[in-house]
Amino acid sequence: MLFKKGDKIGKYIVNSFIKKGALAESYTVYGSDDVLYFCKVFEISTMNSSQLFEGKEVFEIVFCKELSGEKNDNIIRYVDNGGFRKGEKDYHYLVTEFYYGQLLSESLEKEGVFDVEDALQITLCVLNGLMYMHSKALLHNDITPFNIMLKETDDGMLQPTIIDLGHVSYMVMGRPNFFVGDLAPFFRAPETYRGIYTPKSDVFSVGALLYYLVFGKAPWEIDLAECHDDKDMVKAKVKEARKQPLVLDTEETHVPEFLHEILKKALALKVVSRFSSAEELFNALLERLTPEMAEGADEEHQPEDAGEIAEEIPEGNMRIMFKKGSGNGFDQVAGRDSLKEQLRKEVIFGLQNPEKAKKYKLLPVNGILLYGPPGCGKSLVTESFAEELGFNYTILKASQFGNIYQPNVIDNLQRIFDAASLKAPFVIAIDEMEYLIPNPGSENVTKESVAMLTLMNGCAQRGILVVATSNQPEQIDPFVMRPGCIDRVFFVSQPDFEARKDIFMKHLKDRPCETIDYAELARLSEDFVAGDITEAVNEAAMTAAYMDVPISQKILVDVLKYKNPTYATQTKIGFK
């Protein structure tokens, strides 16, 4: 143990020793603000050059800083870092937020296995953090119940948070640059024993985590005591155990059939049979949630700042999150000047100037639809639109809420509209409208369609504006696509020149880069949607990481030269 209570680590005062790991010692420390933090101290002399970024800084510190560029509540938050010399040795330290709560492994040991609903919610939160990491071209490589904290939040809720980034790496196949001796054997994907780490390896680990939460042990878990830390023997034992069928039902635990299928696919020993990404597994789990469970499960679609409020919906047990529009509005949307001007003129002006609208007898706008190809920024435009208005608003993602032909969905929507009318003026944003109100494929009008029309028709008189988005507007029930329900339709094209520049800047921010000509990148990526640009930047980052060089203009241009946009310019359809 390097430090005792009261010693200083940089400007921090040691409170307690936590543990000694293979490469670092962990402590709780107090900052000058008297706030308790978590601190890891690394002895540089014990680390080889491949474990140091550019031979200087500990990779875990670099990755922790990189992941703190944007807020994600399911990943530990970076606070500070530094270095010092003690005796004849050099040390680096990393300071992160300290979380009160308990590890998933401790919770299961004390309280037993989780029920299926809780296990799914926890897994979704872990996947949310993991998807953010993957979007940064980073792998976690060590998702286990021993490094997931059930963090206590201010409202007394428990929030799953990934707290250990000690095995994070770039998405580069080959020999890992991190210490593998302490990886949990039964949470490792088979290919990692051959030195191959990919996003699908992380998916396997999440599948193992979900299995653990439900069954109380890892999949194919056996006693390894006789191995005595012999890594070759552990590998052989694990491989032999995985020749047996995966146990998906026991006398103590019976899980739904849908979970059998999800676990089998997540834990497929052959990489090609596994979920293709963390996002695919996330969506597969989310589809199985009831609307009540789905509320708040996908935090990336919820407002984030202090203006967010949780409200009980009258006569219901659901909660919706709403936010008072007070941000930067359209200023956060780069480019798209024509679309923004259309929305200001045709929708926002009348709502913000009711007296002038009355004088000129402008009809109130009841609902609008923003449509365009996936990844073109409809969700960002929607939230920015609500912020520009300055009204209260909430965002509902239809794929997690359900559709009107499922039980209780109409009733839940009724309660949301009732709650919104109490907080009017209010914007109800509905993402993926075609999922919520699908075209029934028949000329006969369904009772569900009538109920939805009744709910939406004339809601402007109650101070409610519906803002819907869709990738496939032709699949929305035409019965609700009429004046008095959806009054205006706007096409959201692929990002324009300025928007593409902005997307490149955001994705390259905080990565090791040479001088970048963003204008050239924007010219070369015409017709690209945000997802295409994200993929191109990640490919360039992987190439640069593999070559151990900064991301250069040449690497980015080379990637863009062979990539084609997902969608052609001719995606606009005649929709009335």
For residues 355 and 74, give the distance between their C-alpha atoms in angstroms, rounded to a whole number.
46
In the chain, the amino acid numbered 129 is: G
pLDDT, residue 568, reads 57
pLDDT, residue 87, reads 86
φ, ψ for residue 94 (rounded to 5)?
-125, 130
Computed over every residue of the chain, the mean pLDDT equals 85
The pTM of the full predicted model, rounded to 2 decimals, is 0.52
Q: For residue 575, name the pLDDT band (cuts at 50, 70, 90).
A: very low
What percentage of the chain has pLDDT greater than the value 90?
43
Q: For residue 29, name the pLDDT band (cuts at 50, 70, 90).
A: very high
Token pair belonging to 39: 């601190």
> What pLDDT, in 10s, does the model give residues 521-555?
999 998 888 888 988 999 999 999 999 999 999 99
Mean pLDDT confidence for 322-351: 81
Q: For residue 322, name the pLDDT band (cuts at 50, 70, 90).
A: low
pLDDT, residue 307, reads 46
Mean pLDDT confidence for 157-179: 77
Q: For residue 576, name the pLDDT band (cuts at 50, 70, 90).
A: very low
> What pLDDT, in 10s, does the model give residues 393-446?
888 888 777 889 988 889 888 888 888 887 888 999 998 899 999 988 777 788
> What pLDDT, in 10s, does the model give residues 362-404?
888 999 999 988 878 888 888 888 888 888 888 888 877 788 9
pLDDT, residue 313, reads 41
Q: For residue 303, name the pLDDT band (cuts at 50, 70, 90).
A: very low
In the chain, the amino acid numbered 394 is: T
For residues 406 and 287, give the distance between their C-alpha atoms in angstroms, rounded to a whole number.
12
Residue-wise DSSP of 12-80: EEEEEEEEE-SSEEEEEEE-TTS-EEEEEEEEGGGS-GGGEETTTEEHHHHHHHHHTSS--TTBPPEEE
Higher-confidence position of 51 and 308: 51
The domains found in the chain, sorted by start residue, are 8-97 (3.30.200.20), 101-288 (1.10.510.10), 299-491 (3.40.50.300), 497-562 (1.10.8.60)
pLDDT value at 47 more than 90: no
Token pair belonging to 344: 């200001």
pLDDT, residue 311, reads 45
What percentage of the chain has pLDDT greater than the value 70?
89
Show the CA angle centred on residue 547, arms to residues 542 and 552, nearest 5°. Answer: 70
CB-CB contact of 135 with 87 (8 Å): no
Q: Identify which of 163-167, 210-214, 391-395, 406-410 has the greatest average pLDDT.
A: 210-214
Q: For residue 172, name the pLDDT band (cuts at 50, 70, 90).
A: low
pLDDT value at 569 more than 70: no
> What pLDDT, in 10s, does the model give residues 248-294?
988 888 888 889 999 999 999 998 899 989 999 998 888 775 433 33
pLDDT, residue 123, reads 94
pLDDT, residue 372, reads 87
